Structure 1
């Protein structure tokens, strides 16, 4: 199997031969068909997440199961799956339907090894760190667990489904699982990457009457309008965006912040009606201090953080697929594909904002 290795922070990824370090009893080996590139992958590349190197990242994989461990009963060889984040499925958060807040989330998704400390990948006698979000899917194959592999129908375009495992799930889940707007209510979305545009699509599907979209990228604003935004704003063109939004649409019932900058969070919070709720999703670094005025909260506003859309992938990914089938969640419009061996080109296109959601196809690597 081949994988894209990160050997130095902020360096290029190199396609190299690696091997799985065995398949444990609760694991599956997945032949990756397509894998999305997510902002959190860029965070790892920069070194803002202390993932040990060399490592394979990638956490929006979709593919076909080629092998299953002895204790796996819910999946079989040949099943089509979307890979999402890993969770223990046993702690209080998991059992209450909130696996994104699993007590072992960091250890199972960020540390680069299994819980027992062993790596999932190797190169000769050398360890290669994997288990990135329980999968490390930048390659032709990924070792995952039955816990984070979601079975999907075989008639679906598997090569496009990977982003449902994180970016799309995060934005849509923040709206549909956390904010839960009712038909006719209003919402604003700051930051129109995959997460923000997923929030726009989810707001449209939920029946929001007013959907405000904010970004500095003209092309992203145009996409947002196509996907359901009723009002779009470039903040660089307004001296007081909060006042401008209030003048045009009044205060907003809900806002979603998908950037992670303190100034943006503050703006999204100040645009709310009272009461109203702002969900912050954007990740800059693991330590990211922000300040808000207490007065903005005392009058009934709420600021809440959301990880992975507060979703259970095993139930929410099928829900998003059904919305897509019904034409209410056209996420495929955001995707541009690249062969795996062009991964650094995909990263450059993603960083520059030229492409909303790059998806790497492994077909070129498997011939």
Structure 2
């Protein structure tokens, strides 16, 4: 079928809306009519070629829409179902079998190869065109996904809002719910109050953490963080010793710290802000070669831990419906982060995301 898709053809290039060809779904695949799709910094990172993915390509990996057709063997969804699209995984390796799909041993082949793992591609145009980004390439009117990376929602789901649950919000909230699982007596510090960081703040509030510290340099973001559950804020443009400010807010340091920035100095500060035996979770993806330097005395003597986290250590099929339920209860109001753009304003959405003018752009197609 002919579809409309946003194509990026060169590093740091603009997206152009083009008519391209999309195959029918094959075995195990699902054709989804995309109603909306979130704009994530990972999309921008691939456009800039900080992350591996061949160009020209159709990106987009926070799609939401309605199933149009299914391939042979698909039983989890049917035409007419509302779905969110999330990251893909093989389902067969030790990590997938163990319930850790975000750490699939074939993650790159299923999400960043520019086509299906077998080398074929569902997208076609004049000349080469790469798709299957995160198993979806949802900057398009329609996308081919797989049964593993579509998550069925209820009939009342708001398809203009739920797309960001497929990656960014899943990552922030999942890190708190799954990686940390703090008790109400424990404390959490979140470095970076963008969409991922604020999802972590909201998750910490859901769990009733006694102290939640949001760290950022933008006053409006810190104000929103307080509205969403932060008990304390640290404005890095006004505070010289950020770890000391976090320790003052928490008593002896944070039990858990989230870094969403991938900035080495900020990551280091997140570790320095920890209490003895505290854990820092690093979520952000920086430029290739980004390194974190930590004094081993600062790390080992207090028994601190540093862990990398992908996709919030989440199983999307259980976590995404849980987040939808929390939003319906008013306990995870992620709609406060979203600004909606028509699909043809995709380049404006990119600019606003990069400048920080918008926390979470969502492109609408229906």
TM-score band, normalised by shorter chain: over 0.9
Tell me, what secondary structure is at the counterpart of 2:189?
strand
Instruction: Quote how far apart the aligned CAs of 1:286 are.
Output: 4.0
Distance in 1, Cα, partners of 2:176 & 2:110: 26
| Aligned ranges 1:218-233 → 2 under 5 Å | 218-233=219-234
CA contact (8 A) 2:9 2:55 kept: yes
Tell me, what secondary structure is at the counterpart of 1:269?
helix
CA contact (8 A) 1:6 1:45 kept: yes
Q: Match of 1:304?
A: 307
Q: Match of 2:125?
A: 123
| Aligned ranges 1:202-213 → 2 under 5 Å | 202-213=203-214
Give the structure-1-normalised TM-score.
Answer: 0.97
Q: Match of 1:142?
A: 143
Among candidates 279, 283, 286, match of residue 284 of structure 1 = 286
Q: Match of 2:345?
A: 342
Matched, 1:356 2:359: yes
Instruction: Quote how far apart the aligned CAs of 1:284 are.
Output: 1.1
CA contact (8 A) 1:32 1:141 kept: yes
Identify which range, 247-256 or 7-16, moves more after superposition: 247-256
Distance in 2, Cα, partners of 1:180 & 1:139: 36
Tell me, what secondary structure is at the counterpart of 1:351?
helix
What is the RMSD of the two structures over their aligned residues, measured on CA atoms?
Answer: 1.0
Tell me, what secondary structure is at the counterpart of 1:159?
coil
CA contact (8 A) 1:280 1:304 kept: yes
**Structure 2 residues not aligned, in runs of 5+:** none
Q: Match of 1:319?
A: 322
CA contact (8 A) 1:119 1:127 kept: no
Deviations 1:157-207 (A, max 9, x none): 112100000000000000000001001211100011111000000000011
**Structure 1 residues not aligned, in runs of 5+:** none
Matched, 1:215 2:219: no
| Aligned ranges 1:5-154 → 2 under 5 Å | 5-124=7-126, 126-154=127-155
CA contact (8 A) 2:234 2:245 kept: no
CA contact (8 A) 1:121 1:127 kept: no
Give the structure-2-normalised TM-score.
Answer: 0.97
Distance in 1, Cα, partners of 2:105 & 2:317: 18
Distance in 1, Cα, partners of 2:121 & 2:359: 32
Moved over 3 A (4+): none
CA contact (8 A) 2:213 2:249 kept: no
